[in-house]
Chain A
């Protein structure tokens, strides 16, 4: 397997901290965003990402090179973030009431023209709704979503990273998107057309 990180990994396996620092430098943002995509909290995502690097350095001699280092790193990061989210609080019901209905806000219709203050307000509302909708997803589904949407990983790569079946990846992704669309509801349908 051709792993671009192989040289750094081998040095790090011999205890070269600076070599591992190169790997940290290369993947810090990616590990952070995967963590953030799951835990949805700035400080916890930072702590998770940093803990992941320390753990990976500690265990790097166990890495046998059966997968790419990057894949192994994402697996450790995703699992750490999922574990943290599970411990943090019980999963909320996916059938929770739509936030916009709770707020009593009227649907906003946005024309496809230059963004106006109203457009911006609507966009912010949509972001908030999306944020709340993601909060209602199980952490495993958030993990699949961030790897697919942000990292643009293939189903196969996600399956290898999370050590799950490709079918499971597809079903989790489908479920996550469906739930987001349901929660975003009518506002999203009208504003994005």
Chain B
């Protein structure tokens, strides 16, 4: 074989080998993935669903918890006879009390003695101007 023929044959063999190697690969997919990863513009993070869905969920939870905490506590009223109330039944909270009427002011009541038939503490609930309040009487020297 002449040297130039030999070189040509080696060249052919070499090209065949590279061609087979290239055909065995999925270079196109690899290339597209590479371009997508590095050279395609992606929307800013704030517009991506991956960012705003969790943020929205967290916001909703915060909103719901906030609303619940802002609600006034539910008061369970029971219809019990006045004498059955105890100090443990006292309910904390504020009740807007209207100032005494002029008629009441004009007629002061003098209390000479006060006693309790139910013990040193008397608790009962009453309604003043449609507002339920709890009244606690404490008798320091006993009932």
Contact = CB atoms under 8 A, between A and B. Distances in A.
Report whether over half of chain B's contact residues are helix, strand or loop; otherwise say mixed: helix
B34 A53 contact: yes
Nearest to A128: B17
B3 to A, nearest CB: 8
A54 interface: yes
Interface string B39-51: 1110000000000
A24 B34 CA distance: 9
Contact of B31 (A28, A131, A149, A181): A28
A37 interface: yes
Interface string A26-67: 001100110011000010001000100110010000000000
Which of the four size classes fits the interface of chain A?
35 or more
B18 A17 contact: no
Interface in B17-32: 17-18, 20-22, 25, 27, 30-31
Interface of B: 1, 6-7, 9-11, 13-18, 20-22, 25, 27, 30-31, 34-35, 38-41
14 contacts: A17-B38, A20-B39, A24-B31, A24-B34, A25-B31, A29-B22, A46-B30, A127-B20, A131-B17, A177-B10, A188-B9, A188-B10, A189-B6, A192-B13
